[in-house]
Structure 1
């Protein structure tokens, strides 16, 4: 077999550029592996990439950052290994995972957690790597008081990772019914509103040592929530890229603002994060992602459009 089916885009700026194509199967290069894709995750950065939000993307290109599959070419000690991976170059400067096969550096793959399906592993990459970086850089450990704003894929991963470290975690979500659902799962939750500071201090008298805003809309309200010396991490911004920040509140608290961007990390760095996450999944400290929706590659174009239109589901392509 010398060719394969892949999602492709030949220009940037519109999802209309997405199409399925039959292209040459990647060949293994020096220091590389070829992975047969069993499942590939779809992330917001994938459709934003096609829309031209990343100036370093080159075309024509196969998109897709996250994947899980089996090594079919490369170093002998990796052949047949079930792996997962992610990285900033996949789908941006080299062909990505929304295809039947992908080539990447051999050091850019990590052994897949044995208790995760291929689909669950593929759904975990960007969300868990982003949450992992936030937890690490914010110094979250046993007893740390943490507020996670938003409970999408990254927020859910951050809540689970912080809880696994024995932190005291409070989740803030928009809908009252969502908060009730979380409380039913023994997760402390509040509803986001203009009284965020008071609601948080009902749980943490001195404020939160860490606030992780996964939404891009609550930074001004998050800073007054911080305890002295607190840290606030962000992964998103309003559409125009700007936000008014209460700087007086920030410096009086001696607080730190931390930007977290998983697209800074290549496949090799990402493999290090995935190796750190693997034992947490295998031990049960982290649960497999829930509510995954598998889609065949021939529905990729429609699925990209669904996600771009605001679908909250976690889509995974299964070739």
Structure 2
């Protein structure tokens, strides 16, 4: 089969486009013909050596959509999608023509989604779903998403609305605010850190019940913008990993910080998440992804380089 593979880490020159043996599923596993595979920043960071636990040599790629060709009879011929902490790190991933996984590690793909659309959603949507669930977002929750224009942030806004929350996004630029308005979301352009509480107060009197900071830079400022008993969810941090937290103000509000890491969840746990929110696409409650860029897997090396230098649109590799 054709696949991308790296046998060392440190720079993208380690990534090669190769011919590899087609994997053979073990007992209890499925063999998936990959129809589309998402390219995430974490896939690029993996080749660069940011995840020292990755077992080499390795085919990268976490997100995929495809068709089961071998495995339990109930799954053979079914269209599936998936993601998780193992593909690309502990076992070969989705940037290949074929992929093996535990049978319980794939979910049935929503009919409303094409293979390309489904492959674009795994990491961003499971991350957002986990953040909302663990932050107890539900009917009437006042939710602020900082970085609402990004992949995870936009997923959080969409899922939050489906869950019945009052959602507001915060972005850096006016054009990003306009883009969110076109999707029906209220938002504001971020000012200085000490202005955040006032900006949030313009939408939510008394502060937000949940603030989801997808950027890694607004945790200290979010404390002042938080309502009593509020929660702050974070998925990123500054380069040195350190922030100065106003802990006195946080505990006096009864506030809490929730750390979100998609690499804590195996394919089985992610499949359960995909089943939970995937139905919203078939029900027409979640908008179908747009603006995706399809690229042949054979051009994957160039696509990795582009994502590494800041390409923002979503790239989907097609084997």
Name the TM-score, length of structure 1 as normaliser: 0.97
Aligned to 1:40: 37
- 2:224 pairs with 1:224: yes
Aligned-pair CA distance for 1:51: 1.2
Post-superposition CA distance 1:175-223 (Å, at most 9, x none): 0122123224321010011111111101111100000001111111111
Aligned-pair CA distance for 1:79: 0.6
Out of 114, 122, 139, the residue aligned to residue 125 of structure 1 is 122
Q: How many angstroms apart in 2 are the aligned matches of 1:297 and 1:20?
A: 8
Aligned to 2:266: 266
Q: How many angstroms apart in 2 are the aligned matches of 1:148 and 1:9?
A: 35
Aligned-pair CA distance for 1:311: 1.1
Q: How many angstroms apart in 1 are the aligned matches of 2:290 and 2:221?
A: 30
Q: How many angstroms apart in 2 are the aligned matches of 1:182 and 1:172?
A: 10
When the two chains are superposed, the root-mean-square deviation of aligned CA atoms in Å is: 0.9
Aligned to 1:215: 215
Aligned-pair CA distance for 1:52: 1.2
Out of 146, 158, 183, the residue aligned to residue 160 of structure 1 is 158
- 2:60 pairs with 1:63: yes
- 2:240 pairs with 1:240: yes
Question: Secondary structure in 1 aligned to 2:245?
Answer: coil
- 2:132 pairs with 1:135: yes
Aligned-pair CA distance for 1:38: 0.3
Aligned to 1:104: 101
Question: Secondary structure in 2 aligned to 1:299?
Answer: helix
Aligned to 1:250: 250
Q: Which moved more, 1:244-253 or 1:35-44?
A: 244-253
Post-superposition CA distance 1:54-112 (Å, at most 9, x none): 12101000000000000011111111000001010100010000000000101101100
Question: Secondary structure in 1 aligned to 2:294?
Answer: strand
Post-superposition CA distance 1:146-173 (Å, at most 9, x none): 1000121100110001101111111000
Gaps in structure 2 of 5+ consecutive residues: none
Q: How many angstroms apart in 1 are the aligned matches of 2:208 and 2:233?
A: 12
- 2:47 pairs with 1:50: yes
- 2:12 pairs with 1:15: yes
Structure 1 residues 83-102: aligned runs within 5 Å: 83-102=80-99
Q: Which moved more, 1:173-182 or 1:34-43?
A: 173-182
Question: Secondary structure in 1 aligned to 2:303?
Answer: helix
Aligned to 1:312: 312
Q: How many angstroms apart in 2 are the aligned matches of 1:187 and 1:270?
A: 27
Aligned to 2:201: 201
Aligned to 1:81: 78
- 2:28 pairs with 1:31: yes
- 2:291 pairs with 1:291: yes
Q: How many angstroms apart in 1 are the aligned matches of 2:13 and 2:130?
A: 34
Q: Which moved more, 1:94-103 or 1:8-17?
A: 8-17
Q: How many angstroms apart in 1 are the aligned matches of 2:278 and 2:174?
A: 33
Q: How many angstroms apart in 2 are the aligned matches of 1:207 and 1:261?
A: 25
Out of 178, 181, 189, the residue aligned to residue 180 of structure 1 is 178
Name the TM-score, length of structure 2 as normaliser: 0.97
Aligned to 2:187: 189
Aligned-pair CA distance for 1:290: 1.9
Question: Secondary structure in 1 aligned to 2:104?
Answer: helix
Report the count of equivalent residues. 316
Moved over 3 A (4+): none
